[in-house]
Amino acid sequence: MVGAVGDKKDFPSETVINLPGVEKVMPLNKPYKLASRELKDTPTIVRIGGVPIGGQGLAVIAGPCAVESEEQLLATARAVKAAGAHLLRGGAYKPRTSPYSFQGLGEEGLKLLSLARKEVGLPVITEVVDTRDVELVAQHVDALQIGSRNMQNFALLKEAGASGKPIVLKRGLSATIEEWLLAAEYILTTGNSQVVLCERGIRTFEPSARFTLDLTAVAVVKENTHLPIIVDPSHTTGNWRWVLPMAKAVVAAGADGLMIEVHPDPARALSDGAQSLHPETFDRLMGEVAPVALAVGRSLVLRDKIMPSPCFQAESLAL
Amino acid sequence: MVGAVGDKKDFPSETVINLPGVEKVMPLNKPYKLASRELKDTPTIVRIGGVPIGGQGLAVIAGPCAVESEEQLLATARAVKAAGAHLLRGGAYKPRTSPYSFQGLGEEGLKLLSLARKEVGLPVITEVVDTRDVELVAQHVDALQIGSRNMQNFALLKEAGASGKPIVLKRGLSATIEEWLLAAEYILTTGNSQVVLCERGIRTFEPSARFTLDLTAVAVVKENTHLPIIVDPSHTTGNWRWVLPMAKAVVAAGADGLMIEVHPDPARALSDGAQSLHPETFDRLMGEVAPVALAVGRSLVLRDKIMPSPCFQAESLAL
Amino acid sequence: MVGAVGDKKDFPSETVINLPGVEKVMPLNKPYKLASRELKDTPTIVRIGGVPIGGQGLAVIAGPCAVESEEQLLATARAVKAAGAHLLRGGAYKPRTSPYSFQGLGEEGLKLLSLARKEVGLPVITEVVDTRDVELVAQHVDALQIGSRNMQNFALLKEAGASGKPIVLKRGLSATIEEWLLAAEYILTTGNSQVVLCERGIRTFEPSARFTLDLTAVAVVKENTHLPIIVDPSHTTGNWRWVLPMAKAVVAAGADGLMIEVHPDPARALSDGAQSLHPETFDRLMGEVAPVALAVGRSLVLRDKIMPSPCFQAESLAL
Amino acid sequence: MVGAVGDKKDFPSETVINLPGVEKVMPLNKPYKLASRELKDTPTIVRIGGVPIGGQGLAVIAGPCAVESEEQLLATARAVKAAGAHLLRGGAYKPRTSPYSFQGLGEEGLKLLSLARKEVGLPVITEVVDTRDVELVAQHVDALQIGSRNMQNFALLKEAGASGKPIVLKRGLSATIEEWLLAAEYILTTGNSQVVLCERGIRTFEPSARFTLDLTAVAVVKENTHLPIIVDPSHTTGNWRWVLPMAKAVVAAGADGLMIEVHPDPARALSDGAQSLHPETFDRLMGEVAPVALAVGRSLVLRDKIMPSPCFQAESLAL
């Protein structure tokens, strides 16, 4: 199957249908093409440092909001690995609402992430915020994250895509699902097919949580694209107490993984302390998420296999 | 413990603290008082026709959006009962956006609900939309529903509360959680403590689903009030295909029950056909929800017991 | 011209087109029919106690949020009349978010409004919140207001419409313009054509003002319906300092009038003090609005004439 | 007066108060400091190519959404100048939701803007979307625009600020006013004080207009910052018919200027045709806006003077 993108009126349908080997020419209805299930109906499995995202196993990405020091990063990395996380996150370049907030360690943070990968053995993800930093960041980590505020920073999408690294693309805080998939399409058009979508809450009128988790997005995304989708309940809720129930809900809804903020001492975190889990709480979260994963035919033990339709039958449990 | 409501400056603290039997006088910080966990920290179990909501078991309310005919209602009632639902819903008075849409059968619908209860044996819930109808509706059903559009119809809240019937209070489509709990407070101040909160989606910019499910609200509500909370994924998503994954997410998030629209022939439903489940799909939903319930220490078999903190350990499952 | 409403597939187009006197049968595209410009293209002028709304003149409705006492109401009525207001507002039944807030004087408030009308000579508008109160309220005032929280209280819309009184229909705080016009349609289907729409802000994520003024709604409404539209900048902004600039913007945008909260002593108001204007500030507002009205071809002096297309030419002003 | 920014707890208040020449040390309450009226209470007048924005005169920026060709740009530039516009806009780098939409002419577009400036004599504004382009763009135009989708692209804010050029900072489509002023603060901290805020609509649930114009933001911004604010009713409404009434409302609300999209042949525009005005309509807009400007004490003829409090008295008009 060959997908052609561009302006429909410029497409030589008549010529193409008569080429040898062409059986059918059909239009794609969605504005996104490469991301669409119309073009590719089997789930895409993205591999970050060998860890598959989008198969039967659930991928858990954990770590601090920001890399603060070697001690803080290594302690967190060891703790989240011990609890069963598969990937390490940590911000070196932090997009902060105020210019007076901690902006991240920059290149020093990248080096610490490289170190943590070597020391602890987890693949590493970090955010990139400037086209000029993409090359440097790509040298140090296994996957690039495009943050919510940059979801429609199209220059950055193209530059990050061109790096060839897997990209975790967070949804803009007021982006529709269609706009989000079109942002993914910007990356896919660079020839890079390794895109993981990450829902992280949208902006609404409700003030109790930091953002409103749009969990239905998981079902909508699964229906419309072959790309894997994970959810970040930490940024969504902004409150560590609500991360646990939401993590279970995320898995039950059918997402392919979780991104969770963990900090060895949340009260002293330089950013996002209120929503960061203490390592012990993260361990409890992994323990509580595991049976929910099983209940929907998934597992926290990663296996590199396309997920079948939910196979876990109610009948096999003693009600 | 005695809760006093009213204007704080009129409260004779000095006098009260010196009354015999008074150990402590403390202010309640939330604007809602009777609904607050500050006043009552144990979960309230509401009983509708003998069915407990808010205990360890999960309550499933199912049925058609609108009562259309005896045949339609009885067929649905039998099917949802067979699949394991505990309560029957059905609208006799339908608040419709357009005056040209089907407005419900009115009193005839109430009589059919009475009949269904007798024939099938499920307690019955229906919406009331006018203060003048409360008495009549209360004669025919086991619980009154206050719909989303009437959440701040304070005259109706007071009249419904005064009926003494259990009330299912749906969240207004743009109500904050605090406003919702204050609406519950209007009912509680009539002396009626039998209030079940029902999240049904909020209005946001995202167009793909009918409303945006605010699932974090379950965690926020559980933290702030002793009242039980259920979720209606049918109205929220507006699309039957997304009802299944969201129902599982709702249970994993810790809600006390589900309200699901079921119709024997969704394509011909007089209202909300797109979001109604065929009875076979509802049966599948119950089968898929059951293991998720177990995974979070709940059950679809109703037991009248306060839910302990989640006791289902990951360790007991072969990972 | 005859408008037929109901299900399109039941309409005997073939028969009707052949009736004597029928030249053309055409479908109405909007879901609202009686409210649509497709049915009636000339602006409707609603008369409240003789005051026209929807003509070239701008109608200003002013008064306290709630009727608190004879003294408060008469003082306000005299002040707003002296400043040029055409109608008096004041709430007797107040829909309040909390059951512990002042709920209005009820029937006593209605009597004070009757008294103010007689003493001061301004027609009077008040909100009705319960179908059972419509008859009583209609006896005391010149127009009924349906508040934002009751915009989709369809039983109330029908009962208020049936009273034959002019209705000021506030937009629901999260109602789309189409839903709002369908709510107006509920009133119009009772045979009551005297409906004034009132924009009062919508709920969004922005926290600085109480609600977000959707001023574009004035242009959208003018394009789609013949009904007059006024705007309430007091409830919208929730802050008296912002009422002045917004009142000028409302008039420049082409609205047919203003509803403004005025209180003789805002700091001691029993409700909405922060957004109420002191009478002196209201007087200044009228003085600042007047030249803006002239600049768009309108006037604060009411004349009962259909507004022509803006006739005030820039050329006639010395730039 | 000296403003010190940074972490409050690191500030040596005791030492500073005792320095010679220091009379008082006071904290700034807003999270933004340099942008705050607490630090500077007189309005800032920004000059773009000699045109003042923020004084008594109103600045009108007009031109096509995207630069498409020399012919299109020059025709538009001549037309908007003839109608009284003060500045020319035109996009060379277009941030488009879909990768398959026209992305702008890039450097070729910049050269055409330079040419238009020389030929027609209007200062020129264009958007920059990538930190790597800032230097090049700054060589060709009089002011840089930061678009809505890049409002929190902090790397770009800093790079653009460092260019020393005046910056037009559009509000993010779901940014709060406080976040917007903090984005301005990022620019101000580079030492560049030439920032013009531009409201362009926020994202809400209402579907009729492209975005919801938040006009109250003008009043809120004026109260909290000394920076000038203009409004873009073209992007806000997404519909040329609504641009006229909204432009008048913007001026009445107290904004310092307008940004309007004009295209010689809107039906064939490569982007945003639906919201672009035909030059004749723009001419009519200028004619209708002029008297509204006078009515609020402003003028379309630019004078470089701080605007006094509205001096245009109602009494001087024959009512």
Write the secondary structure of chain A as one string of H (helix), E (strand) and C (coil): CCCCCCCHHHCCHHHHHCCCCCCCCCCCCCCCCCCECCCCCCCCCEEECCEEECCCECEEEEECCECCCHHHHHHHHHHHHHCCCCEEECECCCCCCCCCCCCCCCHHHHHHHHHHHHHHCCCEEEECCCHHHHHHHHHHCCEEEECHHHCCCHHHHHHHHHCCCCEEEECCCCCCHHHHHHHHHHHHCCCCCCEEEEECCECCCCCCCCCECECHHHHHHHHHECCCEEECHHHHHCCHHHHHHHHHHHHHCCCCEEEEEECCCHHHCCCCHHHCECHHHHHHHHHHHHHHHHHCCCECCCCCCCCCCCCCCHHHCCC
Chain B residues in contact with A300 (beta carbon < 8 A): 319
What is the domain-level CATH number for residue A106? 3.20.20.70
Does the residue A279 lie in any domain? yes
Average pLDDT over residues B74-89: 97
Distance between CA atoms of D270 and D256, rounded to whole angstroms? Answer: 29
Chain A contact for D152, CB < 8 A?
yes
The helix or strand, by DSSP H or E, that contains position C168, with its residue range, turns out to be strand C167-170
Question: CA of D32: how far to CAs of B127, D148, D186, in Å?
Answer: 49, 19, 9
Chain A residues in contact with D131 (beta carbon < 8 A): 130-132
Low-confidence ranges of chain C (pLDDT < 50): 305-319
Chain B contact for C205, CB < 8 A?
no
Average pLDDT over residues A80-100: 96
- Per-residue pLDDT reduced to its tens digit, D102-142: 999 999 999 999 999 999 999 999 999 999 999 999 999 99
C191-224: b or e for each residue (b if 16 or more CB lie within 10 Å)? ebbbbbbbbbbbbbbbebbbbbbbbbbbbbbbeb
pLDDT at position B303 is 53
For residue D67, how far is the Cα from the chain centroid?
19
Q: Are the beta carbons of C307 and C297 closer than 8 angstroms?
A: yes
% pLDDT > 90, chain D: 82
Distance between CA atoms of D51 and D61, rounded to whole angstroms? Answer: 10
pLDDT at position D6 is 66
Structure tokens at A250: 């995320």
Is A182's CB within 8 Å of D150's CB?
no
Of B12 and B186, the one with more pLDDT: B186
pLDDT at position A301 is 78
pLDDT at position C16 is 81
pLDDT at position C29 is 78
pLDDT interval class at A6 (50, 70, 90) = low
pLDDT interval class at D307 (50, 70, 90) = very low
Residue found under tokens 């998720």: B292
**pLDDT over 60 at D306, yes or no:** no
The nearest CA of chain A is from the CA of C254 a distance in Å of 29
% pLDDT > 70, chain A: 92
Distance between CA atoms of A53 and C180, rounded to whole angstroms? Answer: 46
Does the residue D177 lie in any domain? yes
pLDDT at position B254 is 98
The candidate with the shortest Cα–Cα distance to D169, out of D250, D231, D235, is D231
Average pLDDT over residues A253-266: 97
Q: What DSSP character marks residue C66?
A: B
The candidate with the shortest Cα–Cα distance to A128, out of A97, A88, A167, A173, is A167
Distance between CA atoms of C125 and C91, rounded to whole angstroms? Answer: 8
pLDDT at position B317 is 32
DSSP string computed for chain B: -----S-GGG--HHHHHTSTT--------SS-STTBTTT--SPPPEEETTEEESSSBPEEEEE-SB---HHHHHHHHHHHHHHT--EEE-BSS---SSTTS----THHHHHHHHHHHHHH---EEEE---GGGHHHHHHH-SEEEE-GGGTT-HHHHHHHHHT-S-EEEEPPTT--HHHHHHHHHHHHTTT---EEEEE--B--S--SSSSB-BTHHHHHHHHHBSS-EEE-HHHHH--HHHHHHHHHHHHHTT-SEEEEEB-SSGGG-SS-GGGPBPHHHHHHHHHHHHHHHHHTT-BSS---S---S----GGGS--
A160-197: b or e for each residue (b if 16 or more CB lie within 10 Å)? bbbbebbbbbbbbbbbbbbbbbbbbbbbbbbebbbbbb
- Per-residue pLDDT reduced to its tens digit, D256-279: 999 999 999 999 999 888 899 999
**pLDDT over 70 at D209, yes or no:** yes
pLDDT at position D305 is 47
pLDDT at position A73 is 98
The nearest CA of chain D is from the CA of A73 a distance in Å of 24
**pLDDT over 70 at B19, yes or no:** yes
Q: What is the total count of domains within chain B?
A: 1
Does the residue D178 lie in any domain? yes
Does the residue D16 lie in any domain? no
What residue numbers bound the domain in which D215 lies? 46-306
For residue D106, how far is the Cα from the chain centroid?
22
C210 → chain A, closest CA residue? A205
For residue B214, how far is the Cα from the chain centroid?
15
- Per-residue pLDDT reduced to its tens digit, D192-205: 999 999 999 999 99
Does the residue B1 lie in any domain? no
pLDDT at position C306 is 43
Phi, psi of B282 (to 5 degrees): -65, -40
Does the residue C5 lie in any domain? no
Residue found under tokens 């067979």: B82
Of D18 and D307, the one with more pLDDT: D18
In this structure, the number of other CB atoms found within 10 A of the CB of residue A38 comes to 17
Does the residue B315 lie in any domain? no
D204 → chain B, closest CA residue? B205
**pLDDT over 50 at D52, yes or no:** yes
At C122 the three-state DSSP class reads coil
Distance between CA atoms of A90 and A270, rounded to whole angstroms? Answer: 12
The candidate with the shortest Cα–Cα distance to D223, out of C241, C215, C277, C280, is C241
**pLDDT over 70 at B298, yes or no:** yes
The candidate with the shortest Cα–Cα distance to B177, out of B147, B230, B221, is B221
Q: Are the beta carbons of D269 and D94 closer than 8 angstroms?
A: no
* Pairs across A and B, CB distance < 8 A: 169
Chain D residues in contact with B205 (beta carbon < 8 A): 174, 203-205
Chain B contact for C268, CB < 8 A?
no
Chain B contact for C152, CB < 8 A?
yes
Chain B residues in contact with C156 (beta carbon < 8 A): 130, 153
In this structure, the number of other CB atoms found within 10 A of the CB of residue B238 comes to 18
**pLDDT over 50 at B316, yes or no:** no
Q: Are the beta carbons of B130 and C131 closer than 8 angstroms?
A: yes
Average pLDDT over residues D90-109: 95
B71: Cβ–Cβ under 8 A, 6 or more apart, which residues?
A: none
Average pLDDT over residues B152-172: 98
Residue found under tokens 């010149």: C142
Burial of D33 (0-12, 13-18, 19+ CB in 10 A): buried
The nearest CA of chain C is from the CA of B150 a distance in Å of 6
Distance between CA atoms of A240 and B185, rounded to whole angstroms? Answer: 28
**pLDDT over 90 at B68, yes or no:** yes
Question: CA of B201: how far to CAs of A171, A216, B85, B271, C212, in Å?
Answer: 20, 10, 22, 18, 21
Chain B residues in contact with C31 (beta carbon < 8 A): 98, 100
Q: Which chains touch B (3+ CB pairs under 8 A)?
A: A, C, D
Does the residue B76 lie in any domain? yes
Q: Which chains touch C (3+ CB pairs under 8 A)?
A: A, B, D
Chain B residues in contact with A60 (beta carbon < 8 A): none
Chain D contact for B206, CB < 8 A?
no
Distance between CA atoms of C128 and C187, rounded to whole angstroms? Answer: 14
**pLDDT over 70 at D17, yes or no:** yes
Residue type, A134: V
- Per-residue pLDDT reduced to its tens digit, A174-210: 999 999 999 999 999 999 999 999 999 999 999 999 9
Chain D contact for C174, CB < 8 A?
yes
